[in-house]
Chain A
Amino acid sequence: MLELRNIKKIYNPGEITEMCIFDGFNLSVSDGDFVSVVGSNGSGKTSMLNIICGSTPIEGGDILINGGSIVKTKEHARYAKIGRVYQNPSMGTSPNLTMFQNLSLADNKGKPYGLTRGVNRQRKEFYREQLAELGLGLEDKLDVTMGSLSGGQRQAVALLMSTLTPIDFLILDEHTAALDPKTAEVIMKLTDKIVHEKKLTAIMVTHNLRYAVEYGSRLIMMDKGQIVLDKSGGEKKDLTIESVLSLFTQISIECGN
């Protein structure tokens, strides 16, 4: 359903800092895949996400969703069918608005933001139910401003917001990296739950090898803009953290890290 074809990306072309990160990069993600992407810093994982979402332009190649090219679509238009959760919990919600207002905004994604009432009282019950399922006690905090909540709570709401409306796939951009281990665990479990319940296709970039191995249906390791490991289905289940780690270390040593 998502296809990256022959992607070519050069940072700072023509300057001293010129770096070609992708040259003929290909990736195919099928419906329902839950892909974990690991790799060292500079391997191109985040660049790949940004290329898919449109915040980074490409020099060559094509990006297709369900067969249709989205290369010419503007960044914000792409997000109509893409949900994204960022590493920084502050980036997923509007701090000065209440949880109710944030959810109402998210609920309206894809539709025009016109002069009708911003919040929908009738949906409040629905939001409460959705929040209750997260199991974090957030359902009582609908009228609290997001800025006063903790990082973990904001990230949970961000996760909910990104999946409130129908999307083609969900992008998780190291979304547990900034959370403490306990909260990270909670968010990861929630992510898994939501992805399965809503039958979403998801791409998760993470540094946490354990999450990469334990969750998801497919694991990709990237290095210097190339895919060096791609295991799905049965093969993935057989992966252990040790084997992934040793491959990881091997590449890193080769790089001189």
Chain B
Amino acid sequence: MSTFLDLMVGTLTQGLIYALLGYGVYITYKILDFPDLTVDGSFPLGAAVTAVLLVNGVNPYLTLLAALVSGALAGLVTGLIHVRVKVRDLLAGIITMTALFSINLQIAGSNLTVERGVDTIFTAGPTMALLGGVPLIYRKLLVSAIIVVAFKLLLDIYFKTKNGLMLRAVGDNATLVTALATDKGKIKITGLVISNALVALSGCIVCHEQRSFSATMGTGQVVFGLATVIIGTTIFKKVGFVKGTTAVIVGSVIYKTCIQIAISLGLPANLLKLITAVLFLVILALGNIQKGGVKKNA
């Protein structure tokens, strides 16, 4: 039985950590209506920065901040390319993502492992002082949960501020934003900055959790993020705005659970991705059937 519990705890932890990535995609894709591919680059950027800092003996908690800043910068670049150079949204993200691949290689090389001797946020002093008696996997779960919930609350509060409302308006009706004497370019940039900061934070925590950075770890993360957001919002059809941030966490956990189920089923390893796809389809179909018809584009 402890096996099952361990499995659940592990999957839940993964779901929580990657929920931050989901938030990032939620902000750009759902709220700003801006398909942002920077994510594939800012996610490993967070991990690269974290790995290098950890290996050089920097306080593990500081890496969280460093990751946020690095992700924010990545988002800023995409934003500036889009707004100032007037490159369209998809391409602006692709440009930054491509550049980041090389930048990440420069920062951390192609792979960087953090040895067991180095403390992570899960093993450092303050964490141990609070949760010392708890086994490592539970510590990972709790610390991740604390971080994710903290940022969820921050986001919820932000979306209720004037700036947050404006962000929501930009994706809804950009003309209105201009008519309200606000530079929609600046608002878009704000959204991209916040989004990518969160994505990089996600990469940072993943690096703490797996003690490694790999230059290819970003590939396909934007797809994961989109799947998470869509699954989450499909399950919670009547999304009152606060529930949006909760929906993302749920979507992320479900995604990771699907993969876990696929692995646990012991089916031929090559079919892993196919099984995951089938599971998604089932979830989305269930979501649509409930409503008694085809929901309009999620």
Chain A residues in the interface with B (C-beta under 8 A): 74-80, 83-84, 86, 90-97, 101, 104-106, 108-110, 112-119, 162
Within 8 A of A (CB), among B180-198: 180-184
Which chain B positions have C-beta within 8 A of A113?
Answer: 162-163, 165-166, 182
Contact B180 A91 (CB under 8 A): no
Q: With A114-B163, A118-B164 given, is the CB distance from A94 to B179 under 8 Å?
A: no
For A110, give the chain B residue with the smallest CB separation: B181
Does any Cβ of A come within 8 Å of B169's Cβ? yes
Cβ–Cβ < 8 Å partners of B165 in chain A: 97, 101, 104-105, 113, 118-119
In the complex, which residues of chain B have a beta carbon less than 8 angstroms from the beta carbon of A78?
181
B164 engages A109 (CB within 8 Å): no
Contacts of A83 in B (CB 8 A): 179
Bound form: Cα–Cα A257–B181 in Å? 39
In whole Å, how far is A112's beta carbon from the nearest beta carbon of chain B? 8
How far, in angstroms, from A96 to B175 measured CA to CA in the complex? 14
B169 and A75 within 8 A (CB): no
- Which chain A residue shows the least CB distance to B162? A113
Q: Does B219 contact A (CB under 8 A)?
A: no
Pick from A80, A104, A115 the residue with the most CB of B within 10 Å. A115
A97 to B163 CA separation, bound complex (whole angstroms): 14
Quick one: closest B residue to A54, CB to CB? B178
Q: A76-B182, A76-B183, A79-B180 are in contact. Are A105 and B162 (CB under 8 A)?
A: yes
Out of B160, B161, B176, B183, which one reaches A91, CB within 8 Å? B176
- Are A97 and B181 in contact, with the CB atoms below 8 A? no
Interfacial chain B residues near A106, Cβ < 8 Å? 180
Q: Identify 13 new A-B residue pairs, CB closer than 8 A, beyond the known A104-B165, A115-B161.
A: A74-B183, A83-B179, A86-B175, A93-B173, A93-B176, A94-B176, A96-B172, A105-B165, A105-B180, A112-B162, A118-B160, A118-B162, A118-B165
Residues of B within 8 A of A101 (CB): 165
The distance from the CB of B4 to the nearest CB of chain A, in whole angstroms, is 41
In chain B between 151 and 172, which residues have their CB closer than 8 angstroms to a CB of chain A?
A: 158, 160-166, 168-169, 172
- Output the nearest chain A residue to B163 by Cβ-Cβ distance: A113
CB <8 Å contact, B176 and A109: no
On whether A90 and B161 interact (CB within 8 A), knowing A75-B178, A109-B181, A110-B181, the answer reads no
Q: Identify 23 residue pairs between A and B in the complex whose beta-carbon atoms are under 8 Å apart, listed by A's number.
A: A76-B177, A76-B178, A76-B184, A80-B181, A84-B179, A86-B175, A93-B173, A93-B176, A95-B172, A96-B168, A97-B168, A97-B172, A104-B162, A108-B180, A109-B180, A113-B163, A113-B165, A114-B161, A115-B163, A117-B161, A117-B162, A118-B160, A119-B165
Question: A160 to B272, alpha carbons, bound, how many Å?
Answer: 56
Q: Main SS of the interface on chain B?
A: helix
CA distance A201 to B172 in the complex (A): 30
Of the listed residues A84, A108, A118, the one surrounded by the most CB atoms of chain B closer than 10 A to its CB is A118
Task: Please judge, given known A-B contacts A93-B173, A97-B168, whether A76 and B181 are in contact too, CB under 8 Å.
Answer: yes
The 5 nearest A-B residue pairs measured at CB: A80-B181, A118-B165, A113-B162, A79-B181, A94-B172
For A91, list chain B residues within 8 Å (CB): 173, 175-176
Contact check, B169 vs A94: say whether CB atoms are below 8 A apart: yes
Contacts of A94 in B (CB 8 A): 168-169, 172-173, 176
A101 to B180, CA, bound (A): 13
Q: How far is the CA of A119 from the CA of B183 in the complex (A)?
A: 20
CA distance A113 to B158 in the complex (A): 12
Complex alpha-carbon distance, A91 and B172, angstroms = 10
Contact B175–A97 (Cβ < 8 Å): no
Q: Report how far A75 CA is from B176 CA in the complex, Å.
A: 12
- Contact (Cβ within 8 A) B161 A116: yes
Nearest CB in chain B to that of A108: its residue: B162
Minimum distance in angstroms from A178 CB to a CB of chain B: 15
**A171 to B: closest C-beta gap in Å:** 10
Alpha-carbon distance A77/B180, docked complex (angstroms): 9
Report which of A79, A118, A119 forms a contact with B178, defined as CB distance below 8 A. Answer: A79
Q: How far is the CB of A238 from chain B (nearest CB, A)?
A: 36
Point out the residues of chain B lying under 8 angstroms from A90, CB to CB. Answer: 173
> Chain A residues near B163 (CB, 8 Å)?
113-115
| Complex Cα–Cα for A84 and B176 (A) | 10
Q: Closest Cβ of chain A: how far from B209's Cβ, in Å?
A: 31
Known: A93-B173, A96-B168, A97-B169. A79 touches B161 (CB 8 A): no
Of residues 51 through 81 on chain B, the ones whose CB sits less than 8 Å from some CB of chain A are none
Cα distance A94–B168 when bound, in Å? Answer: 9
B173 touches A95 (CB 8 A): yes
A86 CB contacts on chain B under 8 angstroms: 175
Q: How far is the CB of A158 from chain B (nearest CB, A)?
A: 9
Query: What chain B residues lie within 8 Å of A112 (beta carbons)?
Result: 162
Q: What is the bound-complex CA distance between A217 and B28, given in angstroms?
A: 47
**Which residues from B are CB-within-8-Å of A104?**
162, 165
